[in-house]
């Protein structure tokens, strides 16, 4: 999936403040052509603010940003026609059919995808002649995705794109994104589904409190230490755990020392979710420790 070509998105020292509140505090990352890049973090971390700045919907307070060689604050219609955008939420559904809506939006772009092909890709063939206001929430979300890709974008922004999708629809969406990846589309994805990030993304950054707390390939986030297996067991003193590169040898030694297999013994290899939660919790703990104590 990964391309080694030039970056199409460059972010350096990005800041955004609302009064005294700093939503972004110096964010840096790059996205290469043909790469799918995940922006991960808890609610309120600054993900949507970052995406809105890259899309040109919101002005930044500081730093530099380039998307397809253009500062988003000054991007014109020609530049916007090269982007695809799927927001977290859209306006009220129109009194038009799915096909009518897509055909209308296709007319805004110089080289749009085939309307029926896109309808099939998002799994709405049977709803093509249905008015959007009559669709379920998940089906409307598929229309949002269809509108984001109809213009054959060079860079596609996906902000929580599969919210409301059932498991089957999510899998179909993943296949759609893999098709776009094969065509060379660069994709910036935010999602709370970490399995989705693992399935689709080449690299990721984790943002917490407006700061980047980790960056790298999906299978390298958190560093090697974060992936060291954990042995957990219970003894008279309560639940114990130990990180070790040799869990089998550790369990054998533990069994020999205790005269039998310890209670509730398990060996856990940290998943992406485990690593992500550890990164976010570590940042929250560090932030809490820097706050001034409140007088009672």
pLDDT tens digits along 218-258: 888 888 888 889 999 999 889 999 999 999 999 999 999 88
Q: What phi-psi label fits residue 200: left (phi over 0), alpha (psi between -120 and 50 degrees) or beta?
A: alpha
Residues 6+ apart with CB under 8 A from 124: 98, 139, 142, 143, 146
Task: Give the integer Cα–Cα distance in Å for 59 and 190.
Answer: 20
The rounded Cα 262 to chain-centroid distance in angstroms is 40
Residue of 272 and 241 predicted with greater confidence: 241
Please compute, for residue 83, the number of CA atoms within 13 A of its CA located in the half-sphere on the CB side.
25
Instruction: Give residue 296's pLDDT.
Output: 32
Residues 6+ apart with CB under 8 A from 268: 229, 230, 231, 232, 274
Q: Is residue 216 scored above 80 in pLDDT?
A: yes
Looking at residues 134-143, what average pLDDT do you find?
86
Instruction: Give residue 140's pLDDT.
Output: 87
* Token reading at 276: 């992500």
pLDDT band at 285 (very low <50, low <70, confident <90, very high): low
pLDDT band at 90 (very low <50, low <70, confident <90, very high): low
Residue of 226 and 217 predicted with greater confidence: 217
Task: Give the integer Cα–Cα distance in Å for 9 and 33.
Answer: 8
Q: Is 163 exposed, middle or buried (0-12, 13-18, 19+ CB in 10 A)?
A: middle
Q: Is residue 165 scored above 80 in pLDDT?
A: no
What is the per-residue pLDDT across 24-80, written as a single tens digit (0 to 9) for each? 999 999 999 999 999 999 888 889 899 999 999 999 999 999 999 999 999 999 999
- Tally Cβ neighbours within 10 Å of residue 211: 18
Instruction: Give residue 294's pLDDT.
Output: 45
Q: Is residue 274 scored above 50 in pLDDT?
A: yes
Name, of 13-17, 105-109, 178-182, 227-231, the range with top average pLDDT.
13-17
User: In the 8-state DSSP scheme, what is residue 220?
Assistant: G
What is the per-residue pLDDT across 91-133, written as a single tens digit (0 to 9) for each? 666 789 999 999 999 999 988 999 999 998 888 999 999 999 9
Go through the domains of the chain in sequence order and give each one's CATH number: 7-220 (3.40.50.300), 224-290 (no CATH)
């Amino acid at each position: 999936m990964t391309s080694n070509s030039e970056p199409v998105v460059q972010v350096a020292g990005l800041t955004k403040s609302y009064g005294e509140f700093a939503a972004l505090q110096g964010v840096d990352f790059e996205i290469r052509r043909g790469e799918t890049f995940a922006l991960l973090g808890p609610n309120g971390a600054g993900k949507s603010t970052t995406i809105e700045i890259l899309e040109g919907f919101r002005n930044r307070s500081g730093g530099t940003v380039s998307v397809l060689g253009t500062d988003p604050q000054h991007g014109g219609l020609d530049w916007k026609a090269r982007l695809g955008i799927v927001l977290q939420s859209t306006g009220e559904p129109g009194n038009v059919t799915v096909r009518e809506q897509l055909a209308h939006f296709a007319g805004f772009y110089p080289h749009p995808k085939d309307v029926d092909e896109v309808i099939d890709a998002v799994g709405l063939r049977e709803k093509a002649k249905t008015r959007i206001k009559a669709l379920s929430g998940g089906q409307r979300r598929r229309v949002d995705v269809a509108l984001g890709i109809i213009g054959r974008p060079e860079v596609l922004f996906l902000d929580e794109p599969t919210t409301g999708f059932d498991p089957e629809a999510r899998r179909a969406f993943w296949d759609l994104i893999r098709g776009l990846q094969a065509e060379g589309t660069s994709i910036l994805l935010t999602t709370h589904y970490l399995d989705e990030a693992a399935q689709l993304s080449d690299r990721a950054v984790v943002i917490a409190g407006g700061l980047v707390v980790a960056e790298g390939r999906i299978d390298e986030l958190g560093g090697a230490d974060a992936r060291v297996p954990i042995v957990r067991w219970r003894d008279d003193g309560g639940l114990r755990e130990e990180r070790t590169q040799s869990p089998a040898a550790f369990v054998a030694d533990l069994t020999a020392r205790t005269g039998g297999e310890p209670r509730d013994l398990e060996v856990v290899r940290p998943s992406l979710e485990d690593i992500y939660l550890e990164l976010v919790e570590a940042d929250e703990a560090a932030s809490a420790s820097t706050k001034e104590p409140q007088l009672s």
